[in-house]
Structures are given as C-alpha cells and as structure tokens.
Amino acid sequence: MLKNIIEISKEAGSIIREGFGKNNIVEFKTDEGNLVTEIDKKSEKTIIDFIRKHYPQDGILAEEGSNKNGSS
C-alpha cells in the first residue's frame, strides 16, 4: 500500500512541476481569493482516480470537489 501511495504522489507531483511557472487557466471557485487551476484539477483527479480504483469502498473529501461518500 505505501509503495502505491508514494508512486501516485510522485505522479501528481510531476503534474504540478510540469505546470509550474506556466500560464495555467485559472478559475474562481467562489470569489477572487479562491482560485483553482487546471493543474490543481488534473493532479487531484490523478490521486482520486487511483483511490477509486484501488480502494473503491473509501470515502473521499477533496479540495477541488472530487468528493465521494464511502463506507470507510
């Protein structure tokens, strides 16, 4: 399990590093002080997809809205 967590963390980190310093599309979630970029969404999706695949029973509470109720 730990090996998988490290692997997916590195993958999400790579997505973030690739987008660092580039002009990313920015959206306002609720107000001008609450921003989200395509990189935020993409890195979160990578982690969420991994959790859903390997731990489908687990609930997820994610910053960018990829929430899912679960039995754990």
Name the token pair of 17.
């590093």
pLDDT of residue 14: 96
CA–CA dist 42, 10 (Å, integer) = 14
Give this prediction's pTM: 0.75
> In this predicted model, which residue has the larger pLDDT, 8 or 29?
8
Fold held by 2-54: Fructose-1,6-Bisphosphatase; Chain A, domain 1 (3.30.540)
Under the phi-then-psi rule, with left for phi > 0, alpha for psi from -120 to 50, and beta for the rest, what region is 65? Answer: left
CA–CA dist 12, 14 (Å, integer) = 5
On the question of pLDDT at 69 being above 90, the answer is no
pLDDT, one tens digit per residue, over 9-65 is 999 999 999 988 887 777 777 777 778 889 999 999 999 999 999 999 999 888 876
Domain chopping of the chain, boundaries: 2-54
Rounding to the nearest 10 degrees, give the CA dihedral for residues 57, 45, 26, 35. 30
